[in-house]
Every structure is written in C-alpha cells, then in structure tokens.
Amino acid sequence: MASYVLKRILQGLFLIWLMSIVAFVAIYALGNPITALINPNSPADVIERVTRELGLDLPLHEQYFRFVGNLLRGDLGQSYVTSQPALGLILERFPATLELTLVAMTIAAAVGLPLGLYAGYRPQSLVGRGASAISMVVLSLPSFWTALALIIVFSIQARVLPTGGRGEIGFIFGVPTSLATLDGLRHVLLPALNLSAFPMALFIRLTASGVQETLHATFIRFARAKGLTVRRILFVYVLRNIVVPVITVIGIVFGVLLAFAVVTETIFAWPGSGRLIIDSIRSSDRPVIIAYLMFTVTIFIVINLTVDVICALLDPRISLQGGK
Amino acid sequence: MLAYLKRFLALPTAALGLVALVLLALAAIFAPQLANQNPYDLASIDILSSRLPPGTASVDGYIHWLGTDDQGRDLLSAVLYGLRVSLTVALVATSIALVIGVVAALFASYFGGKVDAILMRLVDLQLAFPSILTALVLVALLGTGLDKVIIAITLSQWAYFARTLRSAAMVERTKEYIDAARTLKFSSSRIMFRHLLPNSVAPLAVVIVVEIASAISLEATLSFLGVGLPITEPSLGLLISNGYSYMLAQQYWLSVYPGLVLLLLLLSVNLIGERMRQMNNPWG
C-alpha cells in the first residue's frame, strides 16, 4: 500500500515538473512578453530597461532556473494588467469557485445517483427511459447553452431568480459563503444547477450501466435464490460493487467541474477563478493564465491521488496489482 | 454495409438523428443557394433593418423568417452560413486529430515497449485535462483565429482516438494473422495500416462520431466566450453570443434560433453515436 501511494506521488510530481516546462515555454518562448507588457512603439531605451528589469535579457536556461526558483517559493509572477501577484489573484477568487463546485456536486450526486440506481434496476420503466433520455440530451449540450436556457426561463420569463452575480455573503463558522443568506442562495442556485447538469447526467449513466452489469452477475442470482429482499440486493450487493467506479468518477468530475466553471462563471458573472482566467485570456495576461494552469494541475493531481488511494482502500485488488 | 444500416435504422431515434443530420449537412453545403443574402457581403445588408422580429418582410421583397440581427443581417442566412462554419471547423479538426491519434496508436501497439510507454504517458497527460481547459489554454497562448481554434480542438482530441485504437489494436496484435504477416516479411507500415488498422476500427468509429459532436460543442463554447472564431466568420456559437446581449430586451430570436440549430445538430450526431455504441455492445 505504502509503495503504491509513493509511486503515485512521484508520478504526480513528475507531471507538475512537466507542466512547469510547458508553462515556461508558454511565457517566454512563444512570442516576446515585452510586446504584451508595454506599447511596442515605446522608445528603444524604455523597452531595453523593462527587458533588463524583468530579466528577459538572460540566457533561456538561466531564465528557467529563475522561473522554477520563484515557482518553489510560490511566486508565479505578477499580473501584466494589475501588477498583483498572479497566484494571489487566483487564491482570492478560488473560494467562490470551490463553493459553486461543491454545491453543484451535491446537487448532482443527490439527484443523479438515486435516479441512476433506479434507471439501472428498471431500465424500461418511465423513470428509467426518461432519465437516460435526459442524460443523453444534457451530455450533448454545451454548458453555455443550458446556462442561457436557464436564464431565459427563470430570470427573463419567470423573473424569479437573478441572472448573475454572487449576492449577499454571510458567514457560517467564520467562513464567508453565499449559502448563509437567502439572497446568496438565490444567486447560487442557477449557476450551481447549470454546473451540476453535466455530472448529474454522467452519474445517471454510470450508475445505471453499472447496476445493469452487476445484475447480470452470478452472485446476484445466488442472492436472489437465497430469498434476499430486492432492497438488500440493490443497496448492499450491487452498490458495493459499483462504488469504486462511482468514486473515481466523482473525483475526476470534481476536477473537470473546476475547469467547466469557467463557462458558467462567465455567463452568470460569478466572481470565481474561472471568470478571472477568461478575462486574463482576453487581455493576454500570461502570468495569470500560467498561474491558473499550474494551480489547476496541482489540484487535479491531488484529487486524482486522493481518489486512487480511497479506491485502493476500498478495493484491495487495485493496490495488489500495483496500479490500473 | 446494407445490413448494418438496416440494423442501425431499427431504432426510431437513430433514424431520426440520421435524417436530421443529413438535412443539416445539406443545408450547410447549399447555404449560398438557400440563403436570401450573403451575410458577409456588407453591400447586401442594411443597418436600418437591424433586429427586425421574425416574419418581417425586407425591403428587397423576401421575408426574414427568423428576423434580423443587430447588423441588419437576415438571421436565417446567418444561421445557414454559421452552420457551415461550425461543421467545417469540427470536421477538419476531428480529421487531423484522427490521423494523429491513429498513427500514434498503431506505433504504440505495433512496436510496444518504450515507444508504447512514452506515447501512452503523453495520452494520459492529455486525458488528465478536460478538453475545454486544454483548448482555452492553447487559445490563450496562441491567440484566437480559425487556425488556432482548429489546433486547440485537435490537440484536445487526438488522445481519445489514440487510446481507443490502441486498446483494440493491443488485442489484435497478439493474433495469429499478425504473426503470419510478420513471417511473410511484410513491412511494418503495411502490417500496421493494412492488417492492424482495419481489424481494430469498429470501436474507433463510435469515438469518431462522439468526438465530432464534442468538437462542434467545443468550438461553439470558445466562440461564445469570445476567444474562438473571429467576428468575420460567425459560427453558431458566435451568433448566440451576439444575440445574447439583446436577450434582456426580449429580442429572443437573435440567440434562440441559432441555439436551436446547434441543439439539433449536436443531438442528431449524438443519437447516431449512441446507436453505434449500442450495436457494438453484445446486449444491444
């Protein structure tokens, strides 16, 4: 078990190192960052001074060492636009994204898993057919489309929910959150619902197909022959067998959602890190883009590692084989 | 082939999807003939007739069935041309990604060992990121524009093809006919492309269809966010985005019609993909 975890951590570190090279190349090799920083028509001496101040006149490998040195100290450069530390900007916005993602995941799991269980158990029933049809439609649609549909229905036609913004922020145990106030809840509902559409559809599909497959297994037939109740078969025998893939997917989807939040946050004017990245892309603010990239990669790796360890704990077959 | 088509059409939704897709493809191909005006020809559009509601007659005598946009373009014409752009971008990007993925997978499975390990690490790295993130970062670094969007979509897709084909080819390469071909001293490329590829292509077909849909969706998302195609080549995503600002003014048609066409396009492609997946499944 320990060697398995160690191996996974080393793989994760290798991936982060790989990303640091990508990030470096992206900032320094693709085009001169100077042109993004100051007016290219500035006098030659100004351009030269700024180049020297930023260390852009050094040879590439020295720039890379400086870059990695700064990286290790948590310094991912400063925004070209606001001159604030790039990582600070992201960390400042990240709690809003995390909150949105957690609410979305909760909605998705609370609706998707039971629906998927039922749809797998009774695929021909009305609920079963409906669930798979809806998940099919949702998985086909880009999330900006569903976001617009939600806004048209709930904000423009019915006028019951706001079109965007975060609303009033309250405190629960000293943590600032929109969930503490009614106004905040009204604001979080539509974006969270929109963000939850994709994982919900995925959960429905995954649990449904998992249940269907497991129901074909011999041990289910034996459980039936033993006269066990349907409830016990479904919630103990079947559920235990599909829990590993479901946890894996929850982990992966959580990471995906942090990225998907880019679209949702932009449309609903949610002040999270996803909106920040779109603004940065539009203004070619490379340090912020790179910082976001490194930050997201690290989170992805931590999530994947956690998921792998949990799955290895739940299913001893995984760690014994030493990987997938 | 005909038997396959017959089995395919046995499911009504799949048949419906195929019919819808064929109609949309025809509309895209014959857009110049079907449209009332060339939406990019500045001489034919009139700013005075901007944002007319659907069904209004134009000064030139025809009817704006879907209304006009904020520049005074006939929305139906714009949607037809937008469909053309969306489909072209998706097909071009998917084809390039397919070629890269197929070559990578064949090399990996045929040569195995180190080649396989390196290529599959790359695939894992790629698959670790959601495609929207890869595409956003690439667009951020390369800049926006038609070619950049195609590169971004290609790079976020090739790994899916590579992984699917590799796992199928891995099973095939241990079979006797590959040994036989090796004994006959056929060249590596002949064995890869003439023997391995045709025999492992079935699961790949499903992924191709699904990836075309996701390419359409990805391009629409990028364009909607304003980091995709330039305003001179409005795809469906860009049309939706343009109209969105007028949504609050109750001028719904600007976004809703391009949105519905996008919905129809994505659904029809996905229904086809779904049916193909079902047919590969022994319980289907």
Higher pLDDT, A10 or A174: A10
Tell if the CB–CB gap between B139 and A281 is shorter than 8 Å: yes
Q: How far is CA B76 from CA B29, B144, B231, B261, in A?
A: 15, 26, 17, 11
Higher pLDDT, A63 or A210: A210
Q: How many CB atoms lie within 10 A of CB A73?
A: 8
Band of pLDDT at residue B46, cut at 50, 70 and 90:
low
Band of pLDDT at residue A322, cut at 50, 70 and 90:
very low
CB B212 within 8 A of CB B90: yes
Instruction: Report the CATH number of the A87-273 domain.
Output: 1.10.3720.10
- Report yes or no for ipTM above 0.90: no
pLDDT at B19: 92
pLDDT digits (tens, 9 = 90+) for A219-246: 888 888 888 888 888 888 888 888 878 8
Higher pLDDT, B88 or A155: B88
Band of pLDDT at residue A108, cut at 50, 70 and 90:
very high
- On chain A, the residues whose CB falls within 8 A of the CB of B132 are 259-260, 262-263
- On chain B, the residues whose CB falls within 8 A of the CB of A149 are 259
- On chain B, the residues whose CB falls within 8 A of the CB of A12 are none
- The domains of chain B, with CATH numbers, are 71-280 (1.10.3720.10)
Q: Which of A139-153, A173-187, B53-67 has the highest mean pLDDT?
A: A139-153
- On chain B, the residues whose CB falls within 8 A of the CB of A139 are 270
CA distance A217 to A214: 5
Burial class of A247 by CB neighbour count within 10 A (0 to 12, 13 to 18, 19+): middle
Q: Inform me whether the pLDDT recorded for A55 exceeds 90.
A: no
Residues in A lying within 8 Å of B, measured between beta carbons? 15, 18, 26, 30, 136-137, 139-145, 148-149, 151-152, 156, 163, 255-256, 259-260, 262-263, 266, 277-278, 280-282, 284, 286, 289, 293, 296-297, 300, 304
pLDDT at B42: 65
- The partner residues of B63 in beta bridges, in order of sequence, read B57
pLDDT at B284: 42
Please give the average per-residue pLDDT across B36-65, as a whole number: 69
- B1's CB contacts (< 8 A; 6+ apart) are none
pLDDT at A323: 42
Query: Chain-wide mean pLDDT for chain B?
Result: 83
Query: Chain-wide mean pLDDT for chain A?
Result: 80
Higher pLDDT, B276 or A39: B276
CA within 13 Å, CB half, A187: 24
Tell if the CB–CB gap between B221 and A263 is shorter than 8 Å: yes
